[in-house]
Structure formats: C-alpha cells, structure tokens
Amino acid sequence: MFGGYKSSKNSCATGMKGHNGFDGKSTPPVPSKEVRPDRNLPIVHPPLMSSSRNPAMRCFNTPTEPSGAEIPLEEVAPLYGGRRAALSLNIIVVGAGLGGLAATHTLAHAGHRVTLLESTRVLGEVGAGIQVSPNASRLLLRWGLGPALRTHAVEPSGIVFRRYDTGERLGYTNWSSRMERDHGAPYYQIHRADYHAMLHRLAVTAPNVHIRLGATVCDVQPDPAVAGGPSITLESGEVLYADLIVGADGVKSRLQKVVTGLDDQPTPTGDAAYRAIVPTDLMAQDPELRPLIESAEGTIWMAPGRHLGGYCIVSAILRLLYQKI
C-alpha cells in the first residue's frame, strides 16, 4: 500500500503477502493548514511525530482520545426516512471497531438505546491502509461522511501489475470514474485509523448512545428465559442487562462462541502477511520511489508464491485528533 499525494506530507503504506515468508470529549490542537494545489483541498500538518530506530517507520506512541469535532459531517436525509422503532430496545454492542461503531450509529438512529463496550482504555491507531469499496462507501456517504472522505481519503485512478524482478508492466485496470459509474459509489483507500475516527464521530453524536472504554467482557448470558434476560458480565464483576446483545468483538470473538457453540481455532495456511507505512516525504527523495506517489494508482508486484502491493492513503485526520506523542 502507498499513501498520500505528491504535494502532501502524509504516509505511504506497503503490504506483502507470501508463503513462509476516546471517551471522545477532549479537544485536539489546531494544526497549521495550507492548500493542496492538485486538489484545492487543505493539507493538515500535525505536530512532529516521534520516530522509531527506522526513520521510515514512525509511530504514534501515546494517542489521546479523538474528539471527532474536526471531522466534517454533511447534512443528509435522516436514516430510515426518519422512521423510529415502535418499541425502543436496550441494546449492548460489544466491540468499538468499525463494525461496532457502525452498528451503534444505525441502531441509535432507529430509536434504540445503545451501550457500546470496548475493552481498550484509549481509542488509538490500529492498522494501516484499508480499502473502502462501493458497497461500504455508499453507506458512508448516506451517513454524511462525504466531505471527510473526499478530503482525507484517496480515490485511486487504477491499479498496475508488474513483474517483481524487472518492474515490467504486465497489466492495468483503469478505475477513475468507472467505479462510481458501474457501482453507484466511489472506491476509496484510507488509513484505518482515519476510517475508525469517522465512524467514532457518528457514534458519539448519535442519540441515546453511551460508550464505555476499559469494559472487558468476561462472560455472556444469552438466554432471555433466565431471570433478568440476556446479560454481559465485565471483568470488574459488573453485570449489564439488555434486550439484545450485538457481538462486534473481532476475530477472537467471545460472543461468536456463545452464538455458534463452537470454539473455532484458526487453521494455519502457510501464508504470512506483512504491513507497513512509509512517509511520502521520504519516498519523494528517492528517484525510483517518487513515481509511486506522483499518481493515485496502486501497484502490485507479482512473484512466484508471493506478491507485494502498494497504494496511496492519507492520514490527516489521525494526526489532527491525537495530540500527545
């Protein structure tokens, strides 16, 4: 993955795969801004980031909770045409990842009371580049995140396939306006933490939502026939009751085991995937790497039994929201 435009100071991400191989209430600082000449959009320059031993691998060591105040929301039609559920339910959503935040937003706007539980105590940077395909972007646009996506995500022009050893171009798919024309919504590439911050903005501004960080679930009681009905027990010993419990607690889901009755263990495949983010200002100094950030197209280098992919991302929101490094 690569990220950022040639005029920005954002990041690039790379990924390789092969065999064996917030309470959300704090206010962030206001960074400096300038205008992106190629897109007429502002570039946000954050405070300097601390670096690891490898200057190309910079990290955000101590992020604070995002406020979401700097993420623009477009005025859009109310969800479900403004209709509300005839019976308002008390709902617990376990997991404040992308799925949990999206579920919280939509359930709250349907008229339900939502408690969102997250085991981590701080919502910080997790992941690298992520792709937002039209089936997801059309929902984000419907939810009012169009301005945020257009400002901080990258709409790729296409993808080129190359030989790993010579760089010879073997194939090309032109996306540009075809993606929106054929599928009714654009295709974006973005830093996962920016994506998460956008959904967090929706969740914290939705009605009747309570977000609890540092709330680790240790037990689930799903039977409505039991006294008190379905419940969640936290590590603190606190028991929370609900009409409905939604499991969005990730690949190691505790709730999935309760629903399926199975303890699904991962099956080794012999594949391994590596991900990294490289700042574009470093790539711009290298004559061989600079062309990779001078367009918004992605590149796949194909090799026997493995491949390397690079595409553009932008992480301006992330740098805006996290003030302590």
Domains and CATH numbers, the chain: 11-254+272-321 (3.50.50.60)
| Residue 147 pLDDT class (50, 70, 90 cuts) | very high
Question: Do the Cβ atoms of 66 and 321 come closer than 8 Å?
Answer: yes
What are the φ/ψ torsions at residue 300 (nearest 5 degrees)?
-120, 120
**Model confidence over 91-123: pLDDT tens digits?**
999 999 999 999 999 999 999 999 999 999 988
Q: What confidence score (pLDDT) does residue 190 get?
A: 92
Q: What confidence score (pLDDT) does residue 266 get?
A: 81
pTM over 0.85? The answer is no
Considering only residues 264 and 10, tell me which one the structure prediction assigns the higher pLDDT: 264
Listed ranges 8-17, 59-68, 98-107, 290-299; the one with the highest mean pLDDT: 98-107
Euclidean distance between CA atoms 322 and 33, whole angstroms? 16
Q: What confidence score (pLDDT) does residue 151 get?
A: 85
**Model confidence over 59-93: pLDDT tens digits?**
222 233 344 557 888 999 999 999 999 999 999 99
Euclidean distance between CA atoms 255 and 230, whole angstroms? 12
Burial code of 189-228, b = ≥16 C-beta within 10 A, e = fewer? bbbbbbbbbbbbbbbbbbeebebbbebebeebbeeeeeee
Over residues 273-278, the mean pLDDT reads 87
Q: What confidence score (pLDDT) does residue 16 get?
A: 52
Listed ranges 15-19, 164-168, 176-180, 259-263; the one with the highest mean pLDDT: 164-168
Q: What confidence score (pLDDT) does residue 308 get?
A: 94
